[in-house]
Amino acid sequence: QVQLVESGGGTVQPGGSLRLSCTVSGFPNNKYIVAWFRQSPGKQRAGVAVIYTGNGMTRYADSVNGRFTISQANANSKLDLQMNSLTPEDAGMYYCAATTYFAAWTIMFRPSHYTYWGQGTQVIVSL
């Protein structure tokens, strides 16, 4: 059974940094796609970063490119999202999601592409 567990959310001031973690278990091998999604109040869930653990390839939404970094550690089972220069627009619930199906990168930023989801972790950006 595939499970994803997020951690690391919290409150940070604008301009600050946070690191989120997603611990993945249950896949039969270490080749799968993990994405981080953000859902702000009143908005649709949107992908911010995607990584393919098979070769480490990554992609980012334009809104976070250059500020967020998705990376893998612990033999691929732990995926981190390092978030720097945070703004109030970055606030929301952050979810990690996983699938074994590789597709065009634009498709892999869609929530509908993912089968497995974590429970989410809250990020608050406020003075």
pLDDT in tens, 16-35: 999 999 999 999 988 999 99
**What digits encode the pLDDT tens for the residues 24-72?**
999 998 899 999 999 998 999 999 999 999 899 999 999 999 999 999 9
Q: Does pLDDT of 75 surpass 70?
A: no
Rounded-to-integer distance, Cα 40 and Cα 105, Å: 22
Contacts of 69 (CB under 8 A, 6+ apart): 49, 58, 80, 81, 82, 84
User: Which residues are registered as beta bridge partners of 80?
Assistant: 21, 71
